[in-house]
A and B are shown apart, each in its own frame.
Chain A
């Protein structure tokens, strides 16, 4: 079945540092989204990015569909960036999202 692998599973950063989170997926892509889950459990949309590159403030994402991976970049990290980042993906002809296990990010002052 469809697999989504995220790395690293845990990441601790000093405030102001940059980071790269990776998502590998196993099939051709229909939908790929990155989410941030806050401490209250709310999943916040970061990017819809089945291909190409997008930027939003300090965050940017790149998906290389032919090589089946996506990257999320966080620059100048802040303590409010802490939480779990999920990559979620659906394959061709499917609408259900399959989530990775997430990357737990802790930004310390």
Chain B
């Protein structure tokens, strides 16, 4: 069990560019989550997948953000026309559906800086 992995770990981009992040969940975890964390704050929920279906989206997820999980395994988060306010740590988490104990495990995050 290798844990949740994210790629890249760091990304610097210029305002207006598109960026894409990848998350590989723990194998066999059917739920996958994206969160965003800005400096000095706790992570904030962005979106959630159960298998390949995107079931919840936060109001934080503007039209410039899109997330996919095409085969119910890895997920991508794309930000189009990046803005300086998008600078943050983007965290991915996964969990195995379990009515008794469903723990979310987090990846190391992708730190985005928009210049």
Contact = CB atoms under 8 A, between A and B. Distances in A.
Interface residues of A, number: 20
Nearest to B45: A96
B21 interface: no
Interface of B: 31, 33, 35, 37, 40-45, 48, 56, 58, 89, 91, 93, 95, 101-106, 108-109, 111
Nearest to B102: A31
A45 B42 contact: no
A86 interface: yes
A73 interface: no
A100 interface: yes
Nearest to B106: A43
B42 A95 contact: no
Nearest to A102: B42
A96 B42 contact: no
Between B42, B43, B93, the greatest number of chain A beta carbons within 10 A of the residue's beta carbon is seen for B42
B41 A96 contact: no
Interface of A: 4, 31, 33, 35, 40-43, 45, 48, 86, 88, 95-102
Contact of A33 (B37, B103, B108, B111): B103
Nearest to A86: B42
Contacts of A45: 103, 105-106
Nearest to B33: A96
A33 B95 CA distance: 13
> Which 7 A/B pairs are nearest by Cβ-Cβ distance?
A99-B42, A96-B45, A43-B106, A48-B103, A41-B109, A99-B43, A42-B108
Contact of B91 (A4, A43, A100): A43
Contact of A40 (B35, B45, B48, B108): B108
Given A41-B89, A41-B108, A41-B109, A97 B45 contact: yes
Contact of A99 (B44, B101, B102): B44
